[in-house]
């Protein structure tokens, strides 16, 4: 009862102070027009607090006047916790400048970024909920930065090579992909005021869709715990912003998952550049629970000017090169296998030699499918659509059978091929591996366009010295002597 009496006295004191402030403010508002003055009806707002005067002890809230409550809880803690305990979001603009005057603050920030709490000697453990945003500029083209350093290099010197700090960053938003405001981006109609819209966003923090992707997808093996947490948080944020009613589809989740993986992978790729093999696993992927298809997510800027992707190739896609001595061509083979009756359709080329290569490879598979394929994946149960695309060069010539062989099997089994893979050589109708003609020209063309691995027939082993020395540092050229060895060296994860 005594506590309630004290609370009423304090409350009435604040009420009286408010009334005096209104009277004084109205007396001087004509002289100081910029002042915002409460009206007497605004005092009614304070009446909302009346029920809390009687609920303090029941809710076990500490008494500000209670001597048992430590002074750090009353006065010091609100100052010690700082902005992270008071704000919803903190943005460091121009974070290329010195951010932390003391190294100890970096340690506290790492603790906060990991768990949302941190410890200080006087205040004990404290927690906050503020988001951290680091803004900055990259003063060179992205391609140049990636060739010479990493995307975090413009940050303040005390953190731009600190992998423990940077690994706690959930996402890297590529500012170079965001279009600048134009007049048509602004509305002539009514909109939410900033403080009201901010409260809407803050209220969404009570809701989470952290596990929304689990209904439809599984994350790939390269996503570690921090990667998984970041991706899930980003997806949850997208759903809260774009589906405040909580209604969303599998396609929505898929779209947000791809964007989330891209933004988190961008962080991981920079860590790989800084920390080396500790952060090697950057081939982010997701598995569709319905189809069991694994899809890898790449970064636009990592592709650079190369044609062959540095991420694992999708099922049914393989690269090769052809050369007739006068013209060398870079070729992309795409195979789509759908349930059917064993038909084959070839598009993208009228070259009879190329079509003959494809038919010989297909017939070799059909004749030996008991030893190569299982019953569930028999060629008689699939219709094959084989697309041949000339990506570079005057025209396509023969010698693509090995690449077609790999593309067909990966399409049937829905298996990804290794990152940056290309295959040269041909397979005869009897299964013999034929030597690749104009070997050095083909390997050079593939390497210059992004191939990290070029599988080469054993018959070309004595021609390795004809490859330019500059190729050896960029591209591996393992050999294969038969179709089984070719398959083992081509499939991702084997």
264-298 tens-digit pLDDT: 999 998 998 888 667 878 889 999 999 988 888 98
Alpha carbons within 13 angstroms on the beta-carbon side of residue 471 total 20
Q: Over range 464-481, report the average pLDDT.
A: 88
H or E segment and range at residue 385: strand 382-392
CA angle, 49 as apex, 45 and 50 as ends, to 5°? 115
Alpha carbons within 13 angstroms on the beta-carbon side of residue 240 total 17
Query: Which residue spans of the chain are classified as CATH 3.30.230.10?
Result: 305-490
H or E segment and range at residue 440: helix 439-448
Is the separation of the CB atoms in 126 and 119 below 8 Å? yes
Q: Over range 145-165, report the average pLDDT.
A: 86
Return the pLDDT at 59.
Answer: 45
Q: Over range 405-412, report the average pLDDT.
A: 95
> Largest alpha-carbon pair distance within the chain?
103
Kindly state the DSSP code that residue 82 receives in the 8-state scheme.
G
Pairing mode, strands 117-120 and 426-427? unpaired
Q: Over range 188-195, report the average pLDDT.
A: 83
Residue 354 CA to residue 404 CA, distance in Å, equals 10
Q: Among 456, 395, 397, 459, which Cα is nearest to 422's?
A: 456
Pairing mode, strands 421-423 and 117-120? unpaired
Residue 307: pLDDT band by 50, 70, 90 thresholds? confident
Q: Over range 297-310, report the average pLDDT.
A: 78
Return the pLDDT at 392.
Answer: 83
> Cβ contacts of residue 181 below 8 Å, gap of 6+?
none
User: How far, in Å, are 28, 174, 319 from residue 412 at the CA level?
Assistant: 83, 36, 17
Helix then strand then coil, in percent of the chain rounded to 5, is 45, 15, 40
Q: What are phi and psi of 40, to 5 degrees?
A: -65, -30
Residue 136: pLDDT band by 50, 70, 90 thresholds? confident
Q: Over range 5-12, report the average pLDDT.
A: 73
Query: 0.95 cut: is pTM over it?
Result: no
Return the pLDDT at 22.
Answer: 80
Q: Among 292, 207, 214, which Cα is nearest to 253's?
A: 214
Residue 229: pLDDT band by 50, 70, 90 thresholds? very high
Is the separation of the CB atoms in 440 and 463 below 8 Å? yes
Helix ranges (H only) for 119-249 are 142-148, 163-166, 194-203, 225-242
Residue 287 CA to residue 282 CA, distance in Å, equals 16
**pLDDT at 491 > cutoff 60:** yes
Q: Which residue, chain included where needed, has tokens 């195979």?
A: 335
Query: What's the chain's length in residues?
Result: 494
Is the separation of the CB atoms in 342 and 181 below 8 Å? no
The class (CATH top level) of 305-490 is alpha beta
Between 64-68, 133-137, 198-202, the lowest mean confidence (pLDDT) is in 64-68
Q: Among 220, 291, 233, which Cα is nearest to 259's?
A: 233
Q: Among 123, 129, 149, 128, which Cα is nearest to 138's?
A: 149
Q: Among 132, 104, 131, which Cα is nearest to 118's?
A: 104
């Amino acid at each position: 009862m005594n506590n309630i009496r004290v609370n009423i006295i304090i409350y009435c004191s604040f009420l009286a102070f408010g009334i005096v402030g209104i009277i004084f403010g109205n007396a001087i508002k004509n002289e100081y027009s910029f002042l915002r003055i409460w009206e007497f009806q605004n005092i009614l707002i304070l009446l909302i607090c009346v029920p809390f005067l009687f609920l303090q002890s029941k809710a076990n809230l500490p008494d500000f006047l209670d001597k048992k409550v430590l002074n750090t809880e009353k006065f010091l803690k609100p100052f010690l916790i700082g902005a992270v305990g008071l704000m919803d979001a903190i943005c460091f603009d121009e974070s290329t400048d010195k951010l932390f005057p003391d190294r100890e603050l970096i340690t506290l920030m790492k603790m906060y970024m990991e768990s949302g709490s941190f410890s200080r000697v006087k205040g004990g453990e404290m927690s906050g909920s503020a988001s951290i945003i680091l803004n900055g500029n990259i003063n060179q083209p992205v391609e140049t930065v990636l060739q010479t350093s990493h995307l975090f290099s413009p940050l303040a010197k005390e953190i731009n090579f600190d992998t423990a700090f940077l690994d706690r960053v959930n996402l890297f938003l590529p500012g170079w992909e965001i279009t600048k405001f134009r007049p048509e981006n602004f509305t002539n109609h009514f909109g939410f005021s900033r403080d009201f819209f901010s409260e809407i966003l803050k209220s969404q923090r009570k809701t989470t869709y952290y596990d929304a992707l689990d209904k439809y997808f599984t994350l790939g093996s390269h996503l570690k715990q921090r990667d998984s947490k970041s991706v899930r948080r980003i997806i949850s944020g997208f759903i809260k912003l774009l589906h405040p009613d909580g209604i969303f589809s599998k396609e929505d989740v898929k779209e947000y998952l791809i964007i989330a993986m891209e933004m988190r992978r961008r962080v991981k790729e920079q860590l790989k550049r800084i920390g080396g093999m500790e952060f090697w696993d950057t081939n982010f992927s997701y598995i569709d629970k319905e189809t069991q298809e694994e899809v890898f997510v790449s970064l636009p800027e990592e592709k650079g000017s190369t044609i062959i992707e540095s991420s694992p190739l999708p099922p049914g896609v393989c690269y090769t090169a052809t050369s007739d001595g006068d013209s060398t061509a870079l070729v992309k083979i795409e195979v789509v296998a759908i349930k059917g009756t064993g038909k084959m359709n070839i598009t993208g080329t009228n070259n009879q030699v190329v079509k003959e290569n494809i038919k010989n490879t297909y017939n070799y598979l059909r004749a030996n499918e008991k030893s190569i394929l299982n019953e569930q994946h028999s060629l008689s149960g699939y219709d094959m659509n084989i697309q041949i695309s000339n990506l570079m060069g005057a025209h396509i010539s023969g010698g693509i059978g090995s690449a077609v062989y790999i593309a067909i099997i990966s399409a049937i089994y829905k298996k990804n091929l290794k990152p940056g893979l290309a295959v040269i050589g041909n397979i005869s109708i009897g299964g013999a591996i034929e030597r690749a003609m104009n070997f050095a020209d083909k390997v050079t063309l593939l390497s210059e366009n992004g191939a990290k691995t070029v599988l080469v027939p054993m018959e070309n082993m004595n021609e390795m010295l004809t490859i330019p020395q500059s190729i050896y540092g960029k591209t591996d050229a393992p050999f294969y002597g038969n179709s089984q060895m070719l398959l083992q060296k081509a499939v991702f994860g084997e």
